[in-house]
Structure 1
Amino acid sequence: MKKTTVILLLVVTAIFSLTTGAFAASKLTVIKAYLNGEVKFLKDGVNWRPTDDKGNEVLPITYNDKTYLPLGVIANTFNIPVGYDITTKTIQLGEKAENTTLYGKQIKTEHSANTFFDIIDKKQLIFGGTQYNGAFAVGSSAGEIYNMTINFGQKYTKLHLYLVGKVNSKAKVYNLNKQQLSEEITLIAGEVTEVDVDLQGSEGVVIYPYTGDYSTADYPLTYVLKDSYLK
């Protein structure tokens, strides 16, 4: 088989769903290419097959003696955050130039706690003499039972997290697949604790706040400040 060069194919449809109308209005050029089932891949010296998010095999495309793979496959394989701005038709690879905070409309939350608030009352959000403008407050449990899920809307590499406990407590951070991303975080009552979390390309986190005190039925709040930011 003729030697080919493997390069990334910026196929927006491999990552995003676009309508037929969107294609009609875009600057696309029709080409004649082939799905190539003969190409084999090695990743770090080990046999590897490209797959999509659902685990289905993705065949490379051969065009003009070059072999192409969808950008989404490469991004997922190497944990490269990828996003798409539909307004500017711009694909964003890797870390963004500007940090994204938890104030964004794309941020979605869920929780399993007895108590949960989206706090916007600034009088409640003065810690260490610093005024914060928003926070998610979730009730803690004695052990790792109650949790709060934050979905970012796309993949990121790092989360700089601001946490505040109403009492001395602890917290752990997991990804959406319940894989642990942080060591146990110690929170001092009323103090802002900052921690960098390696997201490893996750689209969200699950935060477990807990007191470790099984002698009380209290559920003190833990604040996740919205000034926490993503890279």
Structure 2
Amino acid sequence: MKRFVRKKTVKVALLIIAFLATSLGSAFAATNLEPVNAFFNHGISFVLNGDRWQPKNETGEPLKPIHYNGNNYLPVRAIAEALKIPIDYDGDTDTIYIGGIPGKKTPIFAMPLEIDNIYVTRSKDPEETLIKEKQFQEAFKIDQYGDIYFTLDRKYKRLVLDAAVVSPGEHDVVFSLYNAGGAAGNISETVLEKHTISPKDGVRQMVFNVEGLEKIKLHVQSPELNPYIYARIVDTSFFDNGETSAKDSSK
């Protein structure tokens, strides 16, 4: 009998918790949401840049615009993704950011990335991350040549890359940016932007424009195709949404 009462008590407690959660949620919604009389408009079709376009939700299901007060409405995410504009939502402040979050910086080692672990390796060895007499926590080692792929999902405008040529490197090193997105096609073989650093430089800061790109490839190699370059990319590098017109600088 006691066991039955205990289970019943638990069920009642769960119901009370569920009721309170529902009540609080309803109270929150009441202060922020206003009910309207609207309709799904099944007669609307879309043309995007000359081609038929069907807006879809996050699970791939077709979306129909909502018709209200003479206007048709679609979720902002569907429009932003169609126009290849980054979009983010901050649940703490209930803010939707269209075009990226201002001031947000994402370190390169916090990004989704791919390397081959042969020609490009990540190192936290203090001896290998002591670069130009400054100690870093982590670095990419590229002693011959190599490629690094970053997945951006169109969330950033700039790649701010800090790199150097270390001893015994004797040759200039070129950092070339490519579009590695799935829809790039033949364009993926075209260099979008490149910067060069030399052994006499300190840690050089290079700014690449990555606006609108889903995935990029960073190719690192000497212009003379010399097999030994001893390049390092350090952990102060980051992606952000700042101005892309910034010039290179040497630290």
Please name the residue that 1:165 is paired with. 165
Q: Note the C-alpha offset of 1:72.
A: 1.4
**Secondary structure at 1:96 match in 2:** coil
Please name the residue that 2:71 is paired with. 66
Aligned with 2:114 (options 110, 114, 134): 110
Number of equivalenced pairs: 202
- Does residue 151 of structure 1 match 2:161? no
What is the letter of the counterpart of residue 163 of structure 2?
Answer: L
Q: Give deviations 1:90-132, integer Å, cap 9, x for gaps.
A: 2222243314041675x233202414114474983444x7x46
Please name the residue that 2:81 is paired with. 76
- Does residue 223 of structure 1 match 2:233? yes
Structure 1: state its 5+ residue gaps.
1-20
- Structure with bigger helix share is 2
Per the normalisation by structure 2, the TM-score is: 0.61
What is the letter of the counterpart of residue 112 of structure 1?
Answer: D
Identical residues among aligned pairs (%) = 19
Please name the residue that 2:95 is paired with. 90
Q: Is the 8 A contact 1:50 1:73 kept in 2?
A: no
Q: 1:120 to 1:226 in 2, by over 3 A?
A: farther
Q: 1:48 to 1:111 in 2, by over 3 A?
A: same
**Secondary structure at 1:184 match in 2:** strand
- Structure with bigger strand share is 1
Alignment of 1:1-231 (within 5 A): 25=25, 27=29, 33-41=38-46, 46=50, 48-52=52-56, 58-102=63-107, 105=110, 107-114=111-118, 115-119=120-124, 121=126, 124-127=129-132, 131=134, 133-142=136-145, 146-152=146-152, 155-166=155-166, 167=169, 168-177=172-181, 179=188, 182-189=192-199, 191=201, 192-213=203-224, 216=227, 218=228, 220-231=230-241
**Secondary structure at 1:161 match in 2:** strand
Q: 1:103 to 1:228 in 2, by over 3 A?
A: closer
Q: Give deviations 1:152-210, integer Å, cap 9, x for gaps.
A: 57611222222323332212122441645632322212633333322122355321112
Q: Is the 8 A contact 2:86 2:153 kept in 1?
A: no
Q: CA RMSD in A?
A: 3.8
Please name the residue that 1:18 is paired with. none
**Secondary structure at 1:72 match in 2:** helix
Runs of 4+ displaced beyond 6 Å: 53-56
Q: Residues of 1 paired with 2:95 and 2:193: CA distance?
A: 36
Q: Is the 8 A contact 1:156 1:200 kept in 2?
A: yes
Is 69-78 or 117-126 further displaced after alignment?
117-126
Q: Residues of 2 paired with 1:79 and 1:208: CA distance?
A: 24
Is 117-126 or 184-193 further displaced after alignment?
117-126
Q: Residues of 2 paired with 1:48 and 1:147: CA distance?
A: 36
**Secondary structure at 2:78 match in 1:** helix
**Secondary structure at 1:183 match in 2:** strand
What is the letter of the counterpart of residue 171 of structure 1?
Answer: F
Q: 1:159 to 1:184 in 2, by over 3 A?
A: closer
Q: Residues of 2 paired with 1:54 and 1:176: CA distance?
A: 24
State which structure, 1 or 2, has the greater radius of gyration over its C-alpha atoms: 2
